[in-house]
Amino acid sequence: MTLVAVSLCLIVLAGMAGGLSRQPAAGEMLFRVLLGAGCVTGAVPAVEVLAGGTVAELRFVAAPFGAWVFGLDALSAVFLLAILIVGAACAFYGLAYLAPERGHRAVAAAHLLLTLLITALALTVVARAAVPFLIAWEVMAVVAYLLVVFEHERPEVRRAGLIYLVATHVGTLLLLAFFATWAGATGDLSFAALAAHPPFSDARSGIILALALVAFGLKAGAVPFHIWLPEAHGAAPVHVSALMSGVVIKMGVYGLMRTVLMFGAPPAWWGWLVLAIGAGSGVLGVVWALAQHDIKRLLAFHSVENIGIILLGIGAGALGLAYGHPVVAVLGFAGAALHTLNHAVFKSLLFLSAGSVTHATGTRDIDRMGGLARRMPATAAAFLVGAAAIVGLPPLNGFVSEWVIYQALLRGGSARGAMQLAVLTAVPLSLMGALALACFAKVVGVIYLGTPRDEGAAAARESGRGMILPPVGLAALCVAIGLLPVAVVPPALRVGGLVAGSGAEPEVSAVTATVFALALAASLLGAWLWHRVYTGRRRPLEAVTWGCGFATPTPRMAYTASSFAAPLLATFGSFAGTRADHTASSFATHAFDPVLDRVMIPMWRGVSAAASRLRPIQRGGLSRYLLYIATAVIAVLLYLLAAGRGP
Amino acid sequence: MTQESLVALALLAVVAPALPGIVVKTKSLLTGRRGPPVLQLYSDLWKLVRKGTVYSRTTTWVFRAGPLVALVSLLVAALFLPLDGRSAPATFAGDVIAFAGLLALGRFALVLAGMDTGSSFEGMGASREVTIASFAEPTLFLCFIALVLATGDLTLSGMLGTPLAAAWPRSGATLCLVGTSLFVLLLAENCRVPVDDPATHLELTMIHEVIVLDHSGPDLALILYGSALKLALFGVLVVSIFSPRAELSGPVAVAVLFAGLGVVAVLVGVVESVTARLRLTRVPQLLVGAGALALFGIILELR
Amino acid sequence: MYSAAQLVLLFVVLSDLAVLGTTRLSSCIRGIAAQGLLLGLLPVLVAPQLSVHAVSLGVGTIVVKAIVLPWLLGRAIREAAVRREIEPLVGFIASQLLGVLAVALAFAIASRLPLPATTQPLLVPVSLATLMIGFIVLTTRRKALMQVIGYLILENGIYLFGLTQTESVPFLIELGVLLDVFVGVFIMGIVVFHINREFDSLDSTRLAELTD
């Protein structure tokens, strides 16, 4: 635990050094060294706990509102690892990304705030009592808001920041209610005391679990609470979006898993609800992602989809606990934890390389890019690895975590009773995978392949080393985790066992899976080498694209992103959230968020209209207010009279 | 990984190019022609391998890697199928998902290779291919779920091997429905009528043909061989469901499998001659119909 | 293994799903003729011993449901000169998924009903499923002819349920059921031809134009 404390101090120091030093070059060097040292120091106890060790707790007894306890168990360790890895990558990337803005924006403050965000995130997962948890949570939310409105002179950024702030504070209020309902009249708010609770009545446990689902679902971005996600992640600078998509929304997942750990076995209805929300978020998230052409909003909607996948794992785990199938429970939570780590890695990889691309071409619209694989080969390769990982293709890391979640769902099929129906959720999971393949084939094809569609894309050049190394490092990590499931699946099973509270050891044959992944990678590499040798001997000819004999292809003839996705979106009809505007001579498609535009905003307008009917009460006249006060006093006196008169 | 299963796999790899030949021969005979010889694809492959390659200047390494990744993923996927009706060369819990993932990997590589040329034809083919795949994959998983429920096994060797033979008396109706659904999936994934016409050369009506338009020489040979192998793999799935061969000895089981593959190829030829190609917007409907059959099988199993 | 009656019942469900999924009216009529044929085989297979009663019921059902009614409907199509069905109110994919959902519901409900042990295990779920699918076709299709077909499927479902009572119910009930079908189709036939002649279209959503 002391190592974690040391690492957090180092990280904060790094921020202050980067922020306060006079010379930018020395400040950046100090930032890099201190942040790197801090992240490595923090990762050591996390890996130790995941490998089966234990770490002592830190108690501060003389703190306000009860003892403040900090500890690191397997569940906290996996999230801490994700925070440190993604935090380091985004911070290093941010140094290079924000360097051109140094004169006219608060760049140093941004670096300091980023390190504060990483520290707040780490404190949230190591907190073992309600009060430090809530304080760290609130600090994380506010610092994230400040980072989101970095480009605050743009009105859409301010609007996005406002939506985010409102959403996160609604979540915090619900969290306060959650902890209050749980702890009840006892004063001890540490997680150990909460876990040792007496059995609750059905109503009270229902309220607690519903509050947890809404509050943590708001943070995680599950449909229908996701409305702030695309706005905030689209408006923030790209390394902040990467950090938010990678780890900040995972705090909601952490909260849900910690709730299950402390609650014991949740009732079956909660498991089914989480499963349904997971399936809905997943499918709707990827359909809405298909409709987008802004690369950052597209990636943000994919985060909604992957949160759906993680919730499927949590739902399967909760159902396993409710119906008494420990193997399914352990596998479900293990898959959720592993997918959290994997998604953090490949989503931040995708965001950072997308940032390099938007930086180089000057636009966020993918329909204006094209042919960037020739101009930015390293970024393209890293993005391709991230795309293959998020689709869940072997031998990368997305496949490993989806494989574990599928096993949890399919093993539920061999149970008896209502649990068997859970196996049908494998179908939405496969639909999500297929739609994600469609979406990323579109994204990679339109951005990196083909010919440039615009001058910005034609003039793009590869980014500097500071912006290439973090994505490439993350890509290497994706490949490493994918090739060695035997290294990550047993610790994930340990996390699953901790959350499920059971010692069941499901037979997962991780070794054979590792052999499979290594064999696949080896054969792919072998085929590629053979191909190089073979075509090296007979030199191939180069010509213009044949395309059925059309001799002068132009970039305007290539398929655009919206036409690529059009057949799929047509099948989903009005759920897809696209709107086409066409006049006699022009055509444009716009993508919007159906939940925000068709449900939330009309609801708010309705509430606002109903509330404005009450406006006549507040006309401002003093005599009217005195009349209100007098009426209220007389009403109270009459009530006391009537109550006193009763038998 | 026994020697026998590897030999069976090698035999399958050798026999696969004969299947499209059987399909074309059936179609020709049914329309009153003699048609090309059954082994025509072997001669085509030999001719293509000796040709030179032309690469477009727009393409990158993605285009060159596409056919390779597609073929390697199919060969690795074939390792999980129990060709002798009992055990496969490779097996692990949940390898059905690896099977589906490998097919997706091959598709991803070919679609990206198509987009790499920057031509509108390949883009169109890519768009249609991923649309059809988005409906084919859930249907495939519905069939797998039905098999999991019927056999209680999470590996492909179990789902298509000995536990399947034991499940036939109890779940015969479910297995027939799953087999029919898998046959419709075979037509969809291998670009057969009524989903796609492999013989058409009108760009506006092609799906798979148009993605591979710019490949030439040995690359095209790899792609043609890969599609024959994919037809063989799906044929193995269909044949394994309808003829569980767990009691037969090794060589007899493999011989029965190849005979079954021939029957499946003839059936595909008959279906191609009898039905017309569906309108593209009706293809998702066909796949959802196949999924509905598999769902009905699942309902019967859950009863 | 499955008895012949269970196989026939499974094919009845398949014919229901086929009617839901096909777009052409002539295929729907062929589907309902096939369903009539299957339903005609059932009294013979379900009855514990072969009796004149069961055989005559089967033959009568085949004549009415598999020969006469499809021929009448076929004539209606030819006279009104319609071929295809336009997109139903919920879409073809959604109506197929609704159909499977109806089958699942039917099986779930049937497993909860207290039934005597001697009934065919699949008879009640299949009858409920056919009923619900007939109702789906009736409410979601626009062409009046498709609605007639939906009504016929509904009647088939009721007929299937009536088969569970072949032991204790006199012959009169069967006649009543068949007469019911006759009357229903006659009325619908008259309505269809009058609609066609008066309004030049068999699209029943245009009936809404009758209001002012």
Closest CA–CA distance from residue B264 to any residue of chain A (Å): 27
Low-confidence stretches of chain A (pLDDT beneath 70): 21, 62-64, 645-647
**Contact, C125 vs C144, CB < 8 A?**
no
B172 with C92: Cβ contact below 8 A:
no
E runs forming strands in A34-188: 58-60, 68-70
Number of domains making up chain A: 1
Q: Provide the pLDDT for residue B23.
A: 94
pLDDT at position B51 over 80: yes
Q: Of A413-417, A566-570, B283-287, C38-42, which gets the smallest average pLDDT? A: A413-417
For Cα atoms A98, A104, A108, give the angle at the middle one, nearest 5 degrees: 50
Comparing CB atoms, the residue among C1, C23, C93 nearest residue B172 is C1
Q: Does residue A53 fall inside a structural domain? A: no
Of A203-212, B36-45, B234-243, C73-82, give the lowest mean pLDDT range.
Answer: C73-82
Assign B293 a pLDDT band (cuts: 50, 70, 90): very high
What pLDDT score was predicted for residue A12?
83
Alpha-carbon Rg for chain C, nearest whole angstrom, is: 18
Query: Is 70 exceeded by the pLDDT of residue B229?
Result: yes
Supply the range of the domain harboring residue A636.
Answer: 618-647
Q: What whole-number percentage of chain C has pLDDT above 70? A: 74
* Interface predicted TM-score (ipTM): 0.94
What is the predicted pLDDT for the residue at B250? Answer: 80
What does the pLDDT read at residue C211? 59
Output the pLDDT for position A597: 83
B290 touches chain A (CB under 8 A): no
Min mean pLDDT across A454-458, B122-126, C132-136 is at A454-458
**Spatial distance between the Cα atoms of A69 and B52, rounded to a whole number of angstroms:** 70
- Burial readout B172-208 (b: 16 or more C-beta within 10 A, e: otherwise): ebbbbbbbbbbbbbbbbbbbbbbbbbbeeeebeebbb
Choose between B76 and A643: higher pLDDT: B76
Q: Nearest-CA residue of chain B relative to A543?
A: B56
Cis upstream peptide for B244 (omega within 30°):
no
Q: What pLDDT is attached to residue B233?
A: 95
pLDDT reading at C197 higher than 90: no
Q: According to the model, what pLDDT value does residue C50 have?
A: 76
- Would you put residue A371 in left (φ > 0), alpha (ψ -120 to 50) or beta? left
Closest residue on chain B to C110 (Cα): B303
CA-nearest residue to B171 within chain C is C1
Query: Residue A287 corresponds to which tokens in the numbers above?
Result: 């359909």
Instruction: Tell me if A647 is assigned to some domain.
Output: yes
Q: How confident is the model at residue B240 (pLDDT cuts 50, 70, 90)?
A: very high
Which chains sit next to C, with 3 or more Cβ pairs under 8 A? Answer: B
Domain span including residue B169: 3-302
Instruction: Determine if the peptide bond prior to A485 is cis (ω within 30°).
Output: no
* Lowest mean per-residue pLDDT among A464-473, B191-200, B232-241, C203-212: C203-212
Q: Tokens 């990280």 map to which residue?
A: A11
- CB pairs < 8 Å spanning B and C: 43
pLDDT at C174: 65
Question: What is the C-alpha to C-alpha distance for residues A340 and A245, in angstroms, rounded to an integer?
Answer: 11
Q: Does A430 touch chain B (CB under 8 A)?
A: yes
Task: Give the lowest-confidence range in A107-111, A512-516, B246-250, B279-283.
Answer: B246-250
Q: For B217-228, write each residue's pLDDT tens digit.
A: 899 999 999 999
pLDDT of residue C184: 63
Burial C155-184 (b: 16+ CB within 10 A, else e): bbbebbbbbbebeeeeeeebeebbeebeee
Domains contained in chain B, number: 1
Q: Is residue A624 part of a domain?
A: yes
pLDDT-derived band at C183 (thresholds 50, 70, 90) equals low
* Residue C169 pLDDT exceeds 60: no
Is residue A633 in some structural domain?
yes
Strand ranges in chain B using DSSP code E only, listed in sequence order: 54-56
Check if A367 contacts B (Cβ < 8 Å): no
pLDDT surpassing 60 at residue C212:
no
Closest CA to A79 of A312, A303, A338: A338
Chains with 3 or more CB pairs under 8 A to chain B? A, C
Residues of C in contact with B282 (CB under 8 A): 23
Which residue did the predictor score with more confidence, C58 or B78?
B78
Q: Answer whether C21 sits within 8 Å of B296, measured CB to CB.
A: no
**A646 domain residue, yes or no:** yes
Question: Any CB–CB contact under 8 A between B177 and chain A?
Answer: no
The H or E element spanning position B159 is: helix B156-159
**pLDDT, tens digit, for every residue of A134-176?**
999 999 999 999 999 998 888 999 999 999 999 999 999 999 9
> pLDDT band at B29, cuts 50/70/90?
very high
C23 at B interface, C-beta within 8 A: yes
Query: What was the pLDDT predicted at A417?
Result: 75
- What percentage of residues in chain B have a pLDDT greater than 90? 58
**How close, in Å, is residue C60 to chain B by CA atoms?**
29
Non-local (6+) Cβ contacts of A441 within 8 A are: A564, B108, B111, B112, B115, B126, B130
**Considering chain C, what is the average pLDDT of its residues?**
79
Cβ distance of C100 and B303 shorter than 8 Å? no
Reference C83, options C144, C24, C134; nearest CA is C24
B300 touches chain A (CB under 8 A): no
| Interface contact A305, partner B, CB < 8 A | no
CB contact under 8 A, B92 and A557: no
